[in-house]
Amino acid sequence: MAEPFSSLSTSIKFTEIEDVLVKFATRIALDAEKNLRSNKNGKDSNASGSLGESIKVTPVEFMGNNYSIEIRMLDYWQWVNDGRKPGKRPPIANIIKWIKDKQLRLDDKGVTKRGYKRDGTLISSSNKRVKIGNKEVSILEATAYKIAAKIGKFGTKATDFLTDAIDSNSEELIKEMRTALKKDIVIQIKR
């Protein structure tokens, strides 16, 4: 005859693990933002500052048997982090915004009335119009089109701003997770 079984159901809270997850997600987010500003590839990948400012950490959630913590940021982060392979042009509207944020100027070789070289006209405020195919467009649109075409043809280099932030913290995260798990288990046993 089979013996009856009963199950013990208790909720286990891993507060030390949660603290470590929050600490490291925050550290990774801060490091990613710092990496964006450092321009390691010699290019300004965060011209408007919007991508860096958008990096946020969500609270820890326990879902089933898994902890979930997210680092959220603007949706184009992956193109900045991983680069873009040749083949497809990015949206022109995004390039126009980048040109405005970056305050790109025309090299119109102008001089002031006193003979000093002038910096050049802001592309975004130029009244110049050019023809692309059968269509006449502003110099801003033409510049954005040319940049998008070049990106489509050659792609862009990866910055690894997030990948590097994760990699530089992963070893220490694993060590601290082990320690936190031990502490949480001891706390549960002593209950």
Beta strands in the chain (DSSP E): 56-57, 61-63, 66-68, 71-72, 129-132, 135-138
pLDDT at 41: 56
pLDDT at 1: 56
pLDDT at 104: 80
How far is C-alpha 80 from the geometric centre of its chain's CA atoms? 7
pLDDT at 12: 64
Per-residue pLDDT of the chain (191 residues; tens, 9 = 90+): 566 665 555 566 778 888 898 899 999 999 999 998 886 655 566 777 888 899 998 877 766 667 778 889 998 899 999 999 999 899 999 889 888 888 887 776 666 666 666 677 788 888 888 888 899 999 899 999 999 999 999 999 899 999 999 999 999 999 998 999 899 888 888 87
pLDDT at 76: 87
DSSP string across 16-33:
HHHHHHHHHHHHHHHHHH
pLDDT at 64: 64
pLDDT at 29: 93
Query: For the purposes of burial, counting CB atoms within 10 Å of the CB of 104, is it exposed (0-12), middle (13-18) or buried (19 or more)?
Result: middle
pLDDT at 131: 87
Note whether 120 and 108 are within 8 A (CB): yes
Q: Under 8 Å CB-to-CB from 119, ≥6 apart: which residues?
A: 105
Distance CA 171, CA 177 (A): 10
SS3 of residue 68 by DSSP: strand
Beta strands in 13-170 (DSSP E): 56-57, 61-63, 66-68, 71-72, 129-132, 135-138
pLDDT at 6: 57
pLDDT at 144: 93
How far is C-alpha 14 from the geometric centre of its chain's CA atoms? 30
